[in-house]
Amino acid sequence: MDYFDRFAIPHPSPAIYASMVAIGLTMIAIVIGLTYFKKWGYLWDEWLTTVDHKRIGIMYLISALLMLFRGGVDALMMRAQTAVPDNTLLDAQHYNEVFTTHGVVMIIFMAMPFIYALMNFVVPLQIGARDVAFPRLNALSFWLFFMGAMLFNISFVIGGSPDAGWTSYFPLAGNDFSQSVGTNYYMLSIQIAGIGTLISGINFIVTIFKMRAPNMKLMKMPMFTWTALITNAIVVFAFPVLTIALLLGTMDRLFGTHIFSMTNGGMDMLWANLFWVWGHPEVYILILPAFGIYSEVISTFSRRNLYGYTSMVASIVIISFFSFLVWMHHFFTMGQGPLSNSIFSITTMAIAIPTGIKIFNWLLTMRKGKIRFTVPMLYSVGFIPIFTIGGVTGVMLGMASADYQYHNTMFLVAHFHYTIIPGVVFAMLAGLTYWWPKMFGFMLNERIGKWAFWFVAIGFNVTFFPMFFTGLDGQARRMYTYSEATGFGPLNMLSFVGAIGLAIGFALIVYNVYYSVRHSSRDIGSDPWDARTLEWATQTPVQSYNFARTPQVDSIEALWDLKRKGKPIFKGDIEKIHMPNNSGMPFIMSCIFFVWGFSLVFSMWIPAIITTIAIFACMAYRSFEKDDGHYISVEDIKATEKDWEVLADENR
Ligand code: HEM
Ligand SMILES: [Cu+2]
C-alpha cells in the first residue's frame, strides 16, 4: 500500500473529492458519448491527426477556453476567501495552491494557447500561404502544449498541486520547503508545454520569412503578422532560458543537486534571475500579438488605414529588444545594490516610450474615422484607458526606491492585472469575435456580446481598482487572510463583487456561443466586417488549401485595395495544389511525453527510461518515414470554388 500513498493528495477536502468525482463522471460521459455517436474515427481522422493550421488553431482555442474556466474558478475562490476578514473557506495551504495554479494556468495554459490559436488561424491566411512552414511540427507543438496542460491539471487529483507561487522561487520551491510532488508537476508540465512553444517560435519565424505571398515585402505585412513575427523572435530567445531553469530546478528536486538551494554552494537568486530573464519577455510575448489584434480591429472599424505603420513596426521591435533588459525590476528589493537597481529602473521606464507611441497611433487612427462600435471595437477602445493605468502604475513600480513600498503588495497585483487583462484577455475577446465568422461561418450575436463586454469591463475595474488602495495601505499579496483591525474588509468585499460581475460577463460569452450556434445566420459571405486584409479574401469556411491561386500583393491592405481600387489579387490559372498528409505521430509522441513527465514527477525511473527511449524512437521513425504529401487536382479545386464568387479579376 505504501507504494500508492504517493499518489494521494496531501491536503484533501470535501471540495476536492467532489471535483474528483465530477472530473471522473465527465470523462466517462465523454467516452460513452463518443462511442454511442460513433465519433472516435471522426475525432482521430479530422482532429487528432490533423496538420491543418486552421484546425490546430481551433484546438488551441478550445483548450484556452477550458483553461480560462479553470483559472477563473481559482480566481473566484481566492476572492471569496478574502472577501471578509478571518475567513475560513480556504486554509493557508489551499490558498497557496490556488494562487499558484491560478497564475500558472492563466499565463502558460490560457494566454499562451490563446495567442497561438489566433496566430495559427490567422497568420498563414494573412500572408497568403497554404499552411505554416512545418505543418507536422505545428501539430507536435499543439499536442505538447496540450499534454503539458493535462499533466499540470492532474496534479490537483493525483499527488497534490504546486504551492510555491507561479514564480516558484527557490529555496521555497526546493525539497526542504515544498515536500509534495506539486512543484515536480510545475517543472515538468511547463517544460513539456514550453518545448512545444519553442518549436512554434521557429515554425512561425520560418513561415513568415519564407511563405509570404509574392511581392509581400516585410513592410507590406499586416500588423498582426508583424507582431506574430516579433513575438516568435522573443519566444526563440526567451524560452531556452526557461528550459534550462526548469531543467536545473528538476535536477535539484529529483536528483538532489544544489543549484538553487541555500546550502552547499547553491544560489537561490540564480533561479530568480533565470526565471525573469524568461518571465519579463514572456509578458511581451503575450502583449505584442494583442497589439497586433488591436491594430487590425481599430483600423477596420474606423475605416481608416493604420496611422503610423512604420512607427508601429519600429516600436514593437524596440519593445522586444528592451524586454530583455529589464528583468531585474522584479526583485529590486532582493539586495543587488543601488547601481544595478538604477540601471534597471531606467530601462524599465524607457519601455513606456515605445508603448506610448503605439497608444497615440491607435488614437490617431480613430481620429476622423467612421467608427463602428462593434464588439471587437468596444474591447479595443476599452483597452486604451485601462491599459494606460496599467502602464503608468508600472512606471511607478519601476522606480526602485518607491518599489520598496509597493513590492509584494496588492498594488502590484492591481498593476499587472491592469496590463494583462486589457492587454491579453480583452484582445483575445476582440480577436475571437472578429475572426469568429472566418473560423466558424457565422457571427456571434452583437447584443449579447455588448452586454458581456460591459460586465467584463465594469467587473474588471470594480475587482482590481480597490487593490491599488489596499496595496498602498500595506495589504500583502499571497496572504490567505487578514484581521478585521486592518480595515481591508470593505474594499476586499468590493473586489469580490466585481469578480462576480466578471464571471457573469464570461458566462454571457459562453451563452453567446450557444445562442449564436443556434440562431445566427449562416449566410454571411466571406467578408462580413468589410475588412482590409487577405484572410477575408478566402471562402468561408476556409478551404483546406486556403487560396485556390496564390495571391499577388503589393500593398499593406490588399483586400481593401481590391475592393476600393479594383487592384486584382488573384491572377493566372488554377494549378494542382500540394498539401501535407495527416499524421498520428505528433499526438502519439506527445502522449509518450505525458507518461514521461508523469513518471518523473513520481520518480518512477523505469517508465521514465522506457518513455525516453520511445521518444527518440519516434524521432528516428519520422526521419526514415517516406511521406511526400498529396496533390489536390484542378478539378477538385474548381468544384470547391464553383459556388463562390472568387474575388479574382477575370471571375468578376
Ligand atoms: C509601461 C510598461 C510596464 C512597466 C514600467 C512595468 C513595470 C513592472 C514592475 C517594476 C514590476 C515589478 C514590481 C514588483 O514586483 O514590485 C512589474 C510586475 C509585473 N508586470 Fe509589469 N510593467 C509594465 C508592463 C507590463 C505588461 C505589458 C505586462 C503584461 C502583459 C506586465 C505584467 C507584469 C506582471 C505579471 C508582473 C508581476 C509578476 C509577479 O511578481 O508575479 N507588465 N511590472
Ligand atoms: Cu517585468
Positive or negative: CA dihedral 9, 13, 19, 20: positive
CB 389 within 8 A of CB 422: no
Peptide bond into 171 cis (omega under 30): yes
Q: Please, is 456 exposed, middle or buried when counting C-beta atoms within 10 Å of its C-beta (0-12, 13-18, 19+)?
A: buried
The alpha carbon of 402 is separated from its chain's Cα centroid by a whole number of angstroms, namely 31
Is any ligand 1 atom within 6 A of the Cβ of residue 412? Answer: yes
The alpha carbon of 261 is separated from its chain's Cα centroid by a whole number of angstroms, namely 31
pLDDT band at 647 (very low <50, low <70, confident <90, very high): very low
User: What letter represents residue 493's amino acid?
Assistant: M
Share of the chain above pLDDT 90, in %: 74
From the alpha carbon of 167, which atom of ligand 1 is closest?
41
- In the chain, the largest separation of any two C-alpha atoms, in whole Å, equals 78
Is any ligand 1 atom within 6 A of the Cβ of residue 330? Answer: yes
Query: Per-residue pLDDT averaged across 148-158, rounded?
Result: 92
The alpha carbon of 510 is separated from its chain's Cα centroid by a whole number of angstroms, namely 18
Cell triple for residue 39? 465519433
CB 193 within 8 A of CB 44: no
From the alpha carbon of 290, which atom of ligand 1 is closest?
30
- Would you state the pLDDT for residue 649? 44
At 274-329, the pLDDT tens digits run: 999 999 999 999 999 999 999 999 999 999 889 999 999 999 999 999 999 999 99
CA distance 650 to 548: 14
Closest CA to 78 of 166, 197, 157, 141: 166
CA distance 259 to 277: 17
How many other C-beta atoms lie within 10 A of the C-beta of residue 198?
Answer: 20
CA of 312 to the centre of ligand 2 (A): 21
- Would you state the pLDDT for residue 651? 42
Query: Per-residue pLDDT averaged across 190-200, rounded?
Result: 96
Closest CA to 425 of 229, 433, 46, 554: 433
CA distance 616 to 609: 11
Task: For the chain, report the end-to-end CA distance as a whole number of angstroms.
Answer: 75
pLDDT band at 353 (very low <50, low <70, confident <90, very high): very high
CB 191 within 8 A of CB 108: no
Q: b/e string for 132-145 if b means 16 or more Cβ within 10 A?
A: bbbbbbbbbbbbbb
- Would you state the pLDDT for residue 298? 96
CA of 419 to the centre of ligand 1 (A): 8
CB 133 within 8 A of CB 206: yes
CA of 446 to the centre of ligand 1 (A): 33
The neighbouring-strand residues paired with 630 are 579
Which residue matches cell numbers 507504494? 3
Is any ligand 1 atom within 6 A of the Cβ of residue 348? Answer: yes
- Would you state the pLDDT for residue 2? 67
CA of 330 to the centre of ligand 2 (A): 6
Query: Per-residue pLDDT averaged across 459-475, rounded?
Result: 96
pLDDT at 648 exceeding the cut of 70 = no
- Would you state the pLDDT for residue 527? 87
- Would you state the pLDDT for residue 442? 94
CB 391 within 8 A of CB 319: no
Q: Which of 316, 415, 418, 424 to mutate to test the pocket of ligand 1 (most atoms within 8 A of CB)?
A: 415
Is any ligand 1 atom within 6 A of the Cβ of residue 319? Answer: no
Three-state secondary structure readout of 234-265: HHHHHHHHHHHHHHHHHHHHHHCCCCCCCCCC
Closest CA to 466 of 417, 503, 507, 506: 417
Q: Please, is 408 exposed, middle or buried when counting C-beta atoms within 10 Å of its C-beta (0-12, 13-18, 19+)?
A: middle
CB 185 within 8 A of CB 161: yes
At 337-351, the pLDDT tens digits run: 899 999 999 999 999
CA distance 179 to 559: 58
Positive or negative: CA dihedral 447, 449, 450, 456: positive
pLDDT at 645 exceeding the cut of 80 = no
Query: Per-residue pLDDT averaged across 367-396, rounded?
Result: 94
CB 400 within 8 A of CB 332: yes
Is any ligand 1 atom within 6 A of the Cβ of residue 283? Answer: yes
User: What letter represents residue 146's amino acid?
Assistant: F
Which residue matches cell numbers 455588448? 450
Share of the chain above pLDDT 70, in %: 98
At 548-600, the pLDDT tens digits run: 888 888 888 878 888 888 778 888 888 889 999 999 999 999 999 999 999 99
Length of the chain: 652
- The SS3 call for residue 324 is coil
φ, ψ for residue 579, nearest 5 deg: -130, 150
Is any ligand 1 atom within 6 A of the Cβ of residue 267? Answer: no
CA distance 428 to 294: 10
- Would you state the pLDDT for residue 619? 93
Cell triple for residue 326? 529589464
| Closest-approaching ligand to the CA atom of 351 | 1
Is any ligand 1 atom within 6 A of the Cβ of residue 281? Answer: no
Distances from the Cα of 10 to the Cαs of 6, 73, 104, 115, in angstroms?
A: 9, 21, 20, 35
Average pLDDT, the chain: 92
φ, ψ for residue 521, nearest 5 deg: -65, 140
Which residue matches cell numbers 474575388? 647
Query: Per-residue pLDDT averaged across 45-51, rounded?
Result: 92
CA of 329 to the centre of ligand 1 (A): 8
CA distance 323 to 423: 16
Name the DSSP letter for residue 630.
Answer: E
At 479-510, the pLDDT tens digits run: 999 999 999 999 999 999 999 999 999 999 99
The alpha carbon of 390 is separated from its chain's Cα centroid by a whole number of angstroms, namely 19
CA distance 185 to 191: 10
